[in-house]
Amino acid sequence: MQDTRIEWTQKVWKISDGCLHNCSYCFVKRFKKDMTPKFYLNRLTEPSKLKKPSLIFVANTGDLFGEWQKDEHIREVINEMVRCDRHIFQVLTKNPKRMSKFAFPVNCWCGTSIESWEKLDRLQHLKETICGLKFISFEPILSNMGQPDLSGIGWVIIGAESIGHADNPKDVVSAQDFAGPLISYVRVLKIPLFLKKNLQWKEKIQEMPNVRKEQN
């Protein structure tokens, strides 16, 4: 279990890393040359050893619900979440359709990444997921998202692309143009909103959802 500079969590649980999505903007590529997915069974009980209740981001340099992951490994991770109910686990995927096939404990927040309006179909699969809280990460935001139906969503994160670290980095100004209408929309809906520093937004907004939510 490691500390992290990710702004919206406290620890990262590298139970799995590597990815086959091959996104052009992937920040992991700048320090990891081999993106072959791996699952580390020897790290499975790391949350049990962490006594202080913490926010834990699961598989931050991979995708636990990529099609390459084994069902049995996903179930083992969920079982550890159940055992460690003092922690809040945060999982983020580009494949919420598969994630929705599993049921998660109330201390798990399930999220999906949506970088462009073409990927908004992921939202419906996220809504079908049983967990403590559902969230969306619009990072990097690469297009205007319009006003998607965010009913049932308990948290929204918005960020820009990491300049100079990806194959085709976007200008921060463009990200701000795309983010502006979405920020206004989320504020009207009164959903907790977290703006990443890389967005360089004029106002610091870094809200967190309630620590506990009833499962639905």
Cα separation, 128 vs 167, whole angstroms: 33
CATH for 2-199, among 3.10.450, 3.80.30, 1.20.950, 3.40.120? Answer: 3.80.30
Strands (E), the chain: 2-3, 11-13, 16-17, 38-39, 55-58, 88-93, 108-113, 133-138, 155-158, 193-195
Contact between 78 and 105 (Cβ < 8 Å): yes
Map tokens 């999220």 to a residue: 111
Q: C-alpha dihedral over 177, 181, 184, 187, to 10 degrees?
A: -100
- Which sequence spans correspond to the domains of the chain? 2-199
Q: What angle do CA 168, 138, 100 make, to 5 degrees?
A: 115
Map tokens 């006594």 to a residue: 51
- Return per-residue pLDDT of the chain as tens, 216 residues: 888 888 999 999 999 988 766 766 666 656 667 778 899 999 999 999 999 999 999 998 889 999 999 999 999 999 999 999 999 999 999 999 999 999 999 999 999 999 999 999 999 999 999 999 999 999 899 899 999 999 999 999 999 876 555 555 555 667 888 999 999 999 999 999 999 988 889 999 999 997 553 333
The whole-number pLDDT of residue 216 equals: 37
